[in-house]
Amino acid sequence: MKRGKKYLEKEKLVDKTKLYDANEAVDLVVKTSLAKFDETVEAHIRLGVDSRHADQQVRGAVVLPHGTGKKVRVLVFAKGDRAAEAEKAGADYVGAEDMVAKIQGENWFDFDVVVATPDMMGLVGRLGRVLGPKGLMPNPKAGTVTMDVAKAIEEIKAGKIEYRLDKTNIIHVPVGKVSFGSEKLFDNFQTLMSAIIKARPAAAKGQYIKSVVIATTMSVGIKVNAAKISE
């Protein structure tokens, strides 16, 4: 693939054979950002577990101290008082059967996170085939199945992100925007890594954090010294 002059210039700043300390890596991501728009910075973390085994799953959620820089649209499945609480807390959409019909009938997905009260999960389960593959199914581990819908919405709007393994045992998550600057991005990254380390399954053997890469969509991927993170 042919790369532009700017990309090649930025690429020279990164030593692809080096494992950088996390703060150095974050700083380099900011310096090597190419886009004219405010790029999202992502972390890609490979873990030493096998996601095919239930006792080695790694999944959870964490509130990033500086948020993600993205406006998150929240859909809440609730009724009665809980629905009223959700609306008051700033949910973008609140409903029950009507929302199920809208998703099924109109192929409507103008939302980023789904929250549901436990009593609504039987209804939400009808959407498992469409919400599941998109990673939108509410889950107690992520705090998106709860009676305290107001708190869930507040945390999501404040920058709560969900992390989970893909089939190749890698977690892909945003840690903010380039415009945040190195310090805020580093804070977010450290908070994320602490949560993932705490979520280590008892069944995980050997090295837990195998590799970490920080990058934006258009920048050069920067390798982080995983050994130092897992210390």
99 with 120, same domain? yes
CATH of residue 84? 3.40.50.790
81 with 51, same domain? no
What pTM was computed for the model?
Answer: 0.81
CATH of residue 30? 3.30.190.20
136 with 120, same domain? yes
- Report the percent of the chain where pLDDT is more than 70: 94
- What pLDDT, in 10s, does the model give residues 103-141? 999 999 999 999 999 999 999 999 999 999 998 999 998
- What pLDDT, in 10s, does the model give residues 31-71? 888 778 899 999 999 999 988 898 999 988 899 999 999 88
146 with 82, same domain? yes
Q: Which among 122, 157, 192 is the end of a domain?
A: 157
Confidence of residue 25 (pLDDT cuts 50, 70, 90): very high
Q: Give the per-residue pLDDT at 220.
A: 77
Higher-pLDDT residue of 145 and 35 is 145
92 with 115, same domain? yes
Asked if pLDDT for residue 200 goes beyond 70, the answer is: yes
Q: Determine the average pLDDT of the residues in 89-112.
A: 95
167 with 216, same domain? yes
Instruction: Kindly report the three-state secondary structure assignment for every residue of the chain.
Output: CCCCHHHHHHHCCCCCCCCECHHHHHHHHHHCCCCCCCCEEEEEEEECCCCCCHHHCCEEEEECCCCCCCCCCEEEECCHHHHHHHHHHCCCEEECHHHHHHHHHHCCCCCCEEEECHHHHHHHHHHHHHHCCCCCCCCHHHCCECCCHHHHHHHHHHCEEEEECCCCCEEEEEEEEHHHCHHHHHHHHHHHHHHHHHCCCCCCCCCCEEEEEEEECCCCCEEECHHHHCC
199 with 177, same domain? yes
| Domains in the chain, number | 2
Residue 147 belongs to domain spanning: 74-157
Q: Which among 131, 157, 183 is the end of a domain?
A: 157
Asked if pLDDT for residue 17 goes beyond 90, the answer is: no
